[in-house]
Amino acid sequence: MLTSLGGVLFDGFAYGMLLFLLSVGLSVTLGMMNFINLAHGSFGMLGGYVTVTLMDRLGWPFLATLPAAFVAAAALSVVLERLLFRHSYRAGELDQVLLTIGVVFMSVASAAYIWGTVQQPVQLPDYFTGSFTFLGVNFAYYRLFLIGTALVVTLLLVAGLEWTRFGAQVRAAVDNQRMARGLGINVNLAFAITFALGSGLAGLGGSLAIAMVGLDPDFAFAYLVYVLIVVSVGGLASIGGSFAAATVLGISDIAGKYYFPALGSFLIYLVMVGVLMWRPAGLFGKR
């Protein structure tokens, strides 16, 4: 029991970091524009397919595909934002939900059409496949790499948001969009850049996810639920909140499946509904 506890904590933390990468972008964009983007999981899926395709067809090394996945997801998100999403910022939440669910449907069908419905295999490079044991806990190299990447991204995000001019603009827009506009901040531009960065991070998360959770066209829907849980429990536009929520969710999901396999995902849904009823704005949300 005790020896497995360390392993569950480590695996759960790594899984939580994956969820953090997938969801942090949505947390910030939702806080800025109140735009409910259910298509966020689709950008993660795109990142995954970019990695698979580049590795299989073009023989790129795994690490080189990660920036490519980031760029591809960010680029597609800019196109979609300019073409579709920006028209419904002022619309009600129902229109936003419908529009973005429509995009998810299309992305799932397109992925199934292009890559088929089978699980995509990914061959990790040799230096990621091993693991070492320390104090009875098995540390897989790949998960350590995942945790390291997520921590670096977190530091960059926090630093960028706290200490750069752009970060200050984003914070101002989150706190009070109309006031920020009144001060001459180009909120639309700031939002478009944030949207692209957030979607790019989802793409990065998606390509890192394949080796842990696999990749098929259901990815966009399956992880959408997890992403929404992280965002709504962590609170809008809170990087720290998303980090904490993703960690708790990752660990409790792995622990739940390890110790109570019969319950499946029942526990995390229960926790989510409970937290939302207690604090509708999320654990760390201000509004």
Using CB under 8 A as the binding rule, whether residue 19 contacts another protein is answered as: no
DSSP string covering 54-81, please?
HHHHH---HHHHHHHHHHHHHHHHHHHH
Residue 135 CB, shortest distance to another protein, in Å, is 34
Task: Output the smallest distance, CB 18 to another protein, in A.
Answer: 20
Q: Tokens 């979609």, residue? A: 80
In angstroms, give the least distance from the CB of 123 to another protein.
26
Question: Is residue 97 at the binding interface for another protein, with CB under 8 A as the rule?
Answer: yes
As to burial, measured by CB atoms within 10 angstroms (0-12 exposed, 13-18 middle, 19+ buried), residue 88 is middle
Instruction: Please identify, among the stretches 159-167, 179-187, 242-250, 256-264, the one whose residues bind another protein according to the rule CB under 8 A.
Output: 256-264
- Rounded distance between C-alpha atoms, residue 61 and residue 44, angstroms: 19
The Cα–Cα gap between 51 and 20 comes to 19
Nearer to another protein, 102 or 121 (CB): 102
Give the integer Cα–Cα distance in Å for 135 and 228.
Answer: 35
- Rounded distance between C-alpha atoms, residue 197 and residue 191, angstroms: 10
The neighbour count for residue 79, using CB atoms within 10 Å, is 10
Size of the site for another protein (CB under 8 A): 44
Binding mask 20-59 for another protein (x = CB under 8 A): ----------x-----x-----------------------
Q: Footprint of another protein on this chain (CB under 8 A)?
A: 30, 36, 84, 87-88, 91, 93-95, 97-99, 101-110, 112-113, 117, 217, 221, 225, 228-229, 232, 262-266, 269-270, 272-273, 276-277, 280-281
